[in-house]
Each structure stands twice: as structure tokens, then as C-alpha cells.
């Protein structure tokens, strides 16, 4: 049965209001299995990790519009990081602190996941107890008490530390009340199973898309399903290649190296998806997000968006129903598809 959406909005960000009749939901995993979130979350990276960060007005409208679109009792999964700013600063968390200062009533309507654990100012993991604690404290400082840190996840595992060592530090901070739930990011199936022995992992963040679905990703999703852990699927639009292209790529944008071209994507993936999307009356981006979500009840796509219109389009993808025939058709194409450059 189709889900109907009613969206009402004005031309000004601040005056925008949204009302949606229904939206599909998902539960998180592990110790957070009682928490209900929208089937499609909201990645916040592009709001601040770009040469010209978007205005607070635009960013706030995008965040608020998504939250307002949800039924009562359903939280919006917000994904941020300690380093989502030019120069690897806490700009993204600073933005969130300003948002929750202006809209304190929205804090309880969101579930905030934040990646950290790297060396300050570098995209290099440091799994030491001292640095893990430093990272969490830096996140809490940036949030300024405006929003609870619901889930913390080391951005990438440091090969110098075992999952048992990570668990000792992370469990310690949960007991101290610094954050509520533990997540992992950029890990494989073996690491998920190892971590599960020592700590209650609620979510695992990995890249999943029609272009990123090789055997390692499939094995990781299978391990999470087996253990009841939510999969937070970042870049469900293939680092923006399956989304509408911006008018111009900005120099310094972390997505810029992946500027779309038929040659880079490989094959006729976009053309093929357009046929299915047109048949269903949706966009290629919505089809791509819906396909990721269809990989399992615990798989939660988190496309990025800094525009309220795009946020709502992404959310609507969570309600798209793909039939067994749709999925089989896409699977058959993917079996013979190679994405050049991936």
C-alpha cells in the first residue's frame, strides 16, 4: 500500500513547516534496540566539510524539516563527526550546538551519532585510552551540553589496539555517563564479531551503495544481522554519483574527486536505474536509497543533505517499496556490472 506524503512549506527557510502522514521506521541494534528512528537518517558532513559552509539558516531548515516530518515518538538519526570541518575542526558539532540552542525541544527528537578517535587535526586513528577519552571530551565540549551524545564510534579501528582494548575504554566511558551507546565504523565482519564479544555494539557504520556492495560489505551486513546490530549505511548515493549533480563542484569539497562521469561510473548504471525509477515514479537517488534500505530491517541509509528539499526527498525514499521483481532485476544487472575506479 503506497505511503502518502503531504508537505507544506514556504519560500523562507525559517518559516518552513512540514507535515507528513506516515514514514517507515527502524530500530537500532544491541542495547539501543528499543530506540525507534526513521528508516532514512541524515548525514551532516556536507554542511561544514566544504570550502564554504552553508548558512545556519539553511542548515537549520534542513535538520528541522527532517525532524518535523517524522511521526511522534520517532527519532531522526543524525550522523556527525569530531572532524567534519575544513582543517578537521569540530565545525559540524559547533553547528549542532547552535541548532539545539535555538531549538532545545528538538534534542529529544534526535539520536546523535558522532565519530571520533583520530589524532587531532589528522585523519589518522589513535586507539589509545588517552586519545579516545580526549576525543569524547572534545565532542562533549563542542556540543556545550545542548544535546546528549547518544552514540560514539571510533572513526576507524587503530590496528595497534585490539577490540578488547577498545572495549575496555569505551565501556568505561559509558559507565561514566559520557555517552549512552557504542558504535563502530569502517570495520569488516571479523572485527564486528570480535567487538561483539567484549562490548554491546549498537550500530556499525559502513559504506553501502549500488556501487559499493562487494563481498566484504555483504559479509559485514550479514554479521550485523546475525548479531542484531544496526548497519548505518553512509554514502548510499555512491559519494554523490547517484544523486542530482550540483551546478558546479567546489574546489576543496571532499566529494569533488568523485565528480560524476559515465566513464568513472562504468557501464550504463545510471541509465538502467532511470528506467526502473521512472517506472515507479521516483528519482534515481530515491531508488538507490530504497535499495540500500531493502537490504535489511536493521539497515539504515544516511544520505547527506544540506537542503531541506533534498532532506525530505531522501526521507521519502524510506517509504518506497521495492518488489521482489524490482530487487531481482537490479541484482541481475549488478552481477554483470563493474564500476570503473571503485
End-to-end CA distance of the chain: 37
**CA–CA gap between residue 192 and residue 135 (Å, rounded):** 22
Residue 9 is among the residues annotated as catalytic for this protein: no
**CA–CA gap between residue 113 and residue 202 (Å, rounded):** 11
Per DSSP bridges, beta strands 42-43 and 36-38 are: unpaired
| Partners of 183 in the β-ladder | 203
Which position among 13, 84, 181, 234 bears the catalytic label? 84
**CA–CA gap between residue 84 and residue 68 (Å, rounded):** 24
**CA–CA gap between residue 178 and residue 147 (Å, rounded):** 12
Ramachandran assignment for 338, one of left (phi > 0), alpha (psi -120 to 50 degrees), beta (any other): beta
Give the sign of the dihedral formed by CA 257, CA 62, CA 244, CA 296.
positive
| Coil/strand/helix, residue 19 | coil
- The residues annotated with a catalytic role in the active site are 84
Amino acid at each position: 500500500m503506497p505511503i502518502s506524503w503531504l508537505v507544506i512549506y514556504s519560500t523562507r527557510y525559517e518559516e518552513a513547516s512540514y507535515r507528513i502522514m506516515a514514514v517507515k521506521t527502524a530500530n537500532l541494534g544491541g542495547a539501543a534496540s528499543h530506540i525507534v528512528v526513521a528508516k532514512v537518517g541524515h548525514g551532516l558532513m556536507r554542511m561544514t566539510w566544504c570550502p564554504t559552509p552553508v548558512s545556519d539558516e539553511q542548515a537549520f531548515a534542513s535538520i528541522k524539516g527532517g525532524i518535523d516530518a517524522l511521526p511522534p515518538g520517532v527519532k531522526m538519526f543524525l550522523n556527525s563527526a569530531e572532524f567534519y570541518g575544513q582543517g578537521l575542526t569540530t565545525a559540524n558539532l559547533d553547528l549542532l550546538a547552535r541548532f539545539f540552542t535555538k531549538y532545545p525541544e528538538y534534542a529529544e527528537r534526535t539520536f546523535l551519532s558522532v565519530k571520533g578517535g583520530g589524532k587531532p587535526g589528522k585523519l589518522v586513528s589513535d586507539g589509545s585510552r588517552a586519545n579516545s577519552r580526549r576525543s569524547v571530551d572534545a565532542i562533549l565540549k563542542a556540543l556545550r551540553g545542548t544535546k546528549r551524545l547518544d552514540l560514539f564510534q571510533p572513526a576507524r579501528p587503530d590496528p595497534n589496539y585490539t577490540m578488547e582494548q577498545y572495549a575496555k575504554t569505551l565501556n568505561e566511558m559509558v559507565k561514566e555517563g559520557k555517552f549512552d551507546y557504542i558504535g563502530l565504523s569502517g570495520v569488516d565482519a571479523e572485527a564486528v564479531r570480535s567487538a561483539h564479544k567484549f562490548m554491546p555494539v549498537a550500530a556499525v557504520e559502513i559504506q553501502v551503495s549500488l556501487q559499493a556492495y562487494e563481498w566484504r560489505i555483504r559479509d559485514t551486513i550479514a554479521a550485523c544481522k546475525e548479531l542484531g546490530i544496526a548497519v548505518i549505511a553512509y554514502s548510499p548515493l555512491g559519494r554523490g554519483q547517484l544523486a542530482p549533480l550540483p551546478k558546479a563542484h567546489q574546489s576543496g569539497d571532499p566529494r569533488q574527486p568523485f565528480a560524476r562521469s559515465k566513464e568513472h561510473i562504468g557501464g550504463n548504471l545510471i541509465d538502467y536505474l532511470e528506467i526502473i525509477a521512472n517506472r515507479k515514479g521516483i528519482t534515481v537517488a530515491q531508488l538507490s536509497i530504497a535499495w540500500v534500505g531493502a537490504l535489511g530491517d536493521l539497515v539504515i541509509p544516511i544520505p547527506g543533505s544540506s537542503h531541506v528539499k533534498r532532506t525530505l526527498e531522501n526521507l521519502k525514499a524510506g517509504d518506497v517499496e521495492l518488489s521482489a521483481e524490482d530487487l531481482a532485476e537490479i541484482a541481475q544487472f549488478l552481477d554483470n556490472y563493474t564500476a570503473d575506479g571503485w
